[in-house]
Amino acid sequence: MRIIAGSRKGARIFAQKGLDTRPTADRVREAAFNLLGPGAAEDATVLDLFAGSGAMGLEALSRGAVHATFVENDREACRAIVRNLDKLGLDTATVLCQEALTALRADARQGTRYDLVLVDPPYGSFSLQNAIIRHLPDVLAPEGTLLVETAADEEPELLLAKRTSRRYGAARLTIFEHE
């Protein structure tokens, strides 16, 4: 896996071995940022939920995000994120090794808002994450954008306006924003 664009373009990143995480493929990550549009990550605060290796948030940082918060409950994956941040020399990030719902509730209570929210839960589980779905609009900045990666046959629904939804092989990328 490698960073697709920005200041760290071409840099290789580490991913946890095994089946516990499914890193977003390079071509799907590239498609995601193309869908988001040029400059979508520039000067943004980013939340990367179900971060896995951190590939999506790392890509955002490489593309000019000012800060990224990575949320992942798997300890090995958290270590991979920290290792990637160190390797890439990116120090404007926070890694929270905890459940996504715990992090979302804390951010909602504190009034924390993100310009770009990246959500990539295990395939087939997004529609089962009712509590998480309920909190996503609360942490998205008024002019912010939310990108959800799901299995290609899963069509995510949120209490936000759907901008677009596209299939890329086994993945579906859906972009939401406030109305």
| Tens-place pLDDT, residues 125-136 | 777 688 888 999
Give one word for 50, left, alpha or beta, with left for phi > 0 and alpha for psi -120 to 50: left
Q: Is residue 33 part of a domain?
A: yes
- Lowest-confidence region among 17-31, 113-127, 156-170: 17-31
Tell me the two tokens of residue 35.
Answer: 């869908």
Q: Across-strand partners of 45?
A: 67
The three-state secondary structure class of 149 is strand
Q: How many domains does the chain have?
A: 1
Q: Is residue 126 part of a domain?
A: yes
Instruction: Say if strands 140-151 and 114-119 run parallel, antiparallel, or are unpaired.
Output: parallel
What predicted TM-score, i.e. pTM, was given to this entire model?
0.93
Q: Is residue 12 part of a domain?
A: no
**Of 91, 105, 88, 100, whose CA–CA distance to 139 is shortest?**
105
Check whether 18 has a pLDDT greater than 60.
Answer: no
Q: Is residue 128 part of a domain?
A: yes
Helix (H) or strand (E) holding 93: strand 93-97
Cα 151 off chain centre by: 15
Here the CATH number for the domain that contains residue 146 is 3.40.50.150
Q: Which domain holds residue 149?
A: 26-177
Check whether 120 has a pLDDT greater than 50.
Answer: yes
Asked whether 118 and 139 are in contact (CB, 8 A), the reply is: no
Q: Is residue 14 part of a domain?
A: no
